[in-house]
Structure 1
Amino acid sequence: MSSPKWTFEITKERENKLIGRKELLVLIKHVGMGTPARYEVRERIAKAFNIPIDLVYVRSLRTEYGKGESIAEVHIYNDPKRALAFEPEHIRIRNLPPEERKKVLEAKRRG
């Protein structure tokens, strides 16, 4: 679930027309709490852009020690098929809801 205790602002936005996506750098302010989960960030970005969540992927989420700020690299695709073609499997798995991610990882371990 999204937490109202953190805010974000887009610091850089780039349109990649060849791939069909927007590439964002997002500054997340979460003073006094831990780094938000990728899925929470994904939900918030999708809601802010008023788009389906399956078009949004958080590529990286970095926090400096002791700071209440994180930098996220986010890709927003025009088409979910393009996202599946360009986002690596490990990134797609990291962006799943916690319960679903656990199931996928268990299935991968079993082979």
Structure 2
Amino acid sequence: MEIEFIEEKENKLFNRKEIKFYVDYDGEATPKVLDIKSKLVALLNTKKDLIVVDNVQPHYGEPRALGYAKVYDTVDDLKYIETEHVLAKNAEPEEEPAEEEAEE
């Protein structure tokens, strides 16, 4: 999976950077939001808590998708501005404790 940045602009009103990018995924399924988020964290050298992948739109018939992400200055700004469903989409899955069945 390769990420190519198209546009990066500073939005001072919301204390964030807005980034448009292409994701190339030759021979693979469309990457999950969390996979793209991890790659962006590495490329942008930021913390995982400060970035939100807003949407990823695959191009029909091409192994390429257009994405939009936001990098906030603080976690408080992110939680205040972003909606619940976007935060849920970008949240790490919680690991459920393995339940052992009691054999009697």
The TM tier, using the shorter chain, reads 0.7 to 0.9
Correspondence for 2:68: 73
**1:83 and 2:78 correspond:** yes
Runs of 4+ aligned structure 1 residues displaced above 2 Å come to none
Root-mean-square deviation (Å): 1.4
Give the structure with higher Rg (CA): 2
Q: Once the 2 structures are TM-superposed, how far is the Cα of residue 65 of structure 1 from its aligned partner?
A: 2.2
Give the structure with the larger helix fraction. 1
How big is the shift at 1:18? 1.1
Tell me, in whole angstroms, the C-alpha distance in 1 between the residues paired with 2:26 and 2:81: 33
The within-5 A match list for 1:83-102 is 83-97=78-92, 99-100=93-94
1:9-58, CA deviations, whole angstroms, 9 ceiling, x for partnerless residues? 11011100111000000100001111111001111111111111010100
Q: 2:30 maps to what in 1?
A: 35
Q: Deviations over 1:66-102 (max 9, x none)?
A: 21000111000010110001110100000112x32x8
Distance 1:49 1:72 in 2: 15
Give me the whole-angstrom Cα distance separating, in 2, the residues matched to 1:12 and 1:50.
17
Question: What's the % identity of the aligned pairs?
Answer: 25
Indicate the SS of the match to 2:39: helix
Distance in 2 of aligned mates of 1:39 and 1:69: 17
**Partner letter of residue 62 of structure 2?**
K
Which blocks of at least 5 consecutive residues in structure 1 are unaligned?
1-5, 104-111
Gaps of 5+ in 2: 97-104
